[in-house]
Amino acid sequence: MRTGVATVPLDYGRCPRWLFDRMTRLGRGISVAIVEEFGPEELLKRLSDPVWFQSLGCVMGFDWNSSGLTVTTMGALKEAVRGMEAELGFYVCGGKRMSHKTPEETIGWGQKLGWDEGKTNALVNASKMAAKVDSSLIQDGFSIYAHNLLFTNSGKWAVVQQGMNINEQKARRYHWLSDGVSDFTEEPHSGIASDIRLKPLNLTARESLENKNISADMVKLEPAAFLENFQKAARAVSKNMPEVSSPVGKSLGAQGRLPGFTDMELNDVEFHWHPVAAEKFDLKRLKKTIEKAHFFAPDNFTGLLATEGIGPKTIRALSLVAEIIYGAKPSYEDPARYTFAVGGKDATPFPVDRKTYDRMLGAIERGIKQSKMNQGEIDKAKGRLETVAYPF
């Protein structure tokens, strides 16, 4: 098996029109071939896999090691299916400069297709929650700047979005698929593509469940009590105090003190990576946000995250208090990883499904032939497909 590494450095500039037009034609042929062979849900599934997506971008001809592969491939696909959406049963909303219009586009399609509001609102909610999770629950230093929602007539959806980290000069791509999402806040991704691993605050990890539950409970307390605890926690981190008190009351649950809780020493090793250590908070704004959340009294952490105005800083503040005051440590493991569309050679995460693999390659090959490009361009696309395909 041939393997390789696709890096995603930030790349500035624009895709030339001649290349974008060819990517659009090729994308149309591939999309039509896959939908005809497997159905629109299969196209969603493949686009939600970061490795398959990267391969598709390479086959379509864009730079293999550029952050622009994501936004240009998605832009070409959106243009490729334009006018054929209802026929294919496959829709693309959003984009690099259209991210903020994703809900509006989605609602527009729902009205045009005569869908009930519940179905459309579910798609809008999925788009908003995916964006909030990747900006607020995975605090890895990457700012989301491109967001696409893809969906089918059945109401199934996928999200492909990308963030940039100016300091690292890198991009990171986040993939979602509705079939794999039972809880938006707990390990919901189908894959996260990145060529660097960091130590972020990762509240999507299962290990962060207790931290999230306490965070949700804290907004039910009087805001003044939370702010007092927050200031204690922030001072403890910034001054590296040897210990803190643990004022856990019955209001955070029937158990009072958490099982196994002990006052802890705060040192550079334990809390070196906590994202609030060297950060200043606007306490007036934080107070206003907590008061708003307290007023709406969300039932759980998902409801808290969905509350308007709750963003990364509020989540960090709640997480810090839950960790230092109440002893509920969140995860700092980077969730970035590649997933595999057809398995791996060592059966990780599952054995290669050769039959499906061959059918998928066949569909892409038919798509190349149906792309209405000249023979020279078709031959080049086939060559790129051979480069990114794994021979078994």
Q: CA–CA separation, 235 vs 250, rounded Å?
A: 25
- Phi, psi angles (nearest 5°) of residue 61: 110, 5
Residue 237 near residue 218, CB atoms below 8 Å? no
58/156 same-domain check: yes
Residue 257 lies in a domain: yes
Please work out, in degrees rounded to the nearest 5, the angle formed at the alpha carbon of residue 282 by the alpha carbons of 277 and 286.
100
> Based on the domain organization, do 50 and 95 belong to the same domain?
yes
User: Residue 71: CB partners within 8 Å, gap ≥ 6?
Assistant: 95, 96, 146, 162
Higher local confidence (pLDDT), 8 or 184:
184
pLDDT in tens, 147-180: 999 999 999 999 999 999 988 888 899 999 999 9
Contacts of residue 74, defined as CB under 8 A and 6 or more positions apart, other chains included, come to 92, 95, 146, 148, 160
Q: Look at residues 324, 343, 377 and tell me which one is the last residue of a structural domain.
A: 324
pLDDT of residue 241: 37
E strands in the chain: 90-95, 138-139, 143-152, 157-165, 170-177, 189-193, 201-202
What total number of domains does the chain contain? 2
Is 278 strand, coil or helix?
coil
Task: Give the pLDDT band of residue 221 (cuts 50, 70, 90).
Answer: confident
**212 and 269: one domain?**
yes
Q: Is the distance from CB of 31 to CB of 88 less than 8 angstroms?
A: yes
Question: Is residue 69 situated within a structural domain?
Answer: yes
CA 127, CA 148: separation in Å to the nearest integer?
A: 8
Place of tokens 């994501």: 70
pLDDT at residue 20, rounded to an integer? 80
Helix (H, G, I), strand (E, B) or coil at 293: helix
pLDDT at 317 over 90: yes
Strands 90-95 and 143-152, bridge-based pairing: antiparallel
What is the Cα–Cα distance from 288 to 294, expressed in whole angstroms? 10
**Averaged pLDDT, 286-308:** 95
Q: Do residues 184 and 259 both lie within one domain?
A: no
Picking from 202, 206, 247, 252, the residue whose alpha carbon sits closest to that of residue 229 is: 247
pTM over 0.85: no
Give residues with Cβ within 8 angstroms of 36, minimum separation 6: none
Residues 31 and 139 in one domain: yes
Residue 330 has pLDDT above 70, yes or no: yes
Helical segments of 39-99, H only = 40-47, 50-60, 68-80, 85-88
Looking at the fold, whether 239 and 262 belong to one and the same domain comes out as yes
Query: Do 282 and 339 have their domain in common?
Result: no
Q: How confident is the model at residue 45 (pLDDT cuts 50, 70, 90)?
A: very high
Looking at residue 112, what is its pLDDT?
A: 96
**Contact of 96 with 40, CB cutoff 8 Å:** no
Specify which of 65-69, 188-192, 359-363, 378-382 reaches the highest per-range mean pLDDT: 188-192
Q: Are residues 308 and 346 in the same domain?
A: no
**Can you tell me the distance from the alpha carbon of 3 to that of 23, in angstroms, rounded to the nearest whole number?**
24
> In the predicted model, is pLDDT for residue 54 greater than 60?
yes
Q: Are residues 164 and 145 in contact, defined by beta-carbon separation less than 8 angstroms?
A: yes
pLDDT tens profile 101-131: 999 999 999 999 999 999 999 999 999 999 9
Same domain, 119 and 252: no
CB neighbours of residue 11 within 10 Å: 15
Q: 221 lies in which domain range?
A: 206-324
Is the pLDDT reported for residue 384 higher than 60? Answer: no
pLDDT at residue number 15:
73
Q: Are residues 149 and 276 in the same domain?
A: no
Q: What is the pLDDT of residue 122?
A: 97
Q: Is the model's pLDDT at 226 over the cut of 80?
A: yes
| Domain annotation covers residue 228 | yes
Does the pLDDT value for residue 208 go beyond 50? yes
Which of 324, 344, 376 lies at the terminal end of a domain, its last residue?
324
- Domain boundary, last residue among 305, 324, 343: 324
Same domain as 216, residue 109: no
Whether residue 330 is contained in a domain is answered as no
Residue range 350-357: mean pLDDT, rounded: 59
The whole-angstrom separation of Cα 277 and Cα 274 is 6
Average pLDDT of 359-363? 64
Kindly list the distances between the CA atom of residue 135 and the CA atoms of 26, 142, 276, 328, in Å, as whole numbers in the listed order: 33, 8, 16, 21
Rounded to 5 degrees, φ, ψ at 320 are: -60, -45
Do both 28 and 120 map to the same domain? yes
| Residue 248 counted as domain residue | yes
Is residue 370 assigned to a domain? yes
Question: What is d(CA 177, CA 136) in angstroms, rounded to the nearest whole number?
Answer: 19
SS (H, E, C) 207-249: HHHHHHHHHHHHCCCCHHHHHHHHHHHHHHHHHCCCCCCCCCC
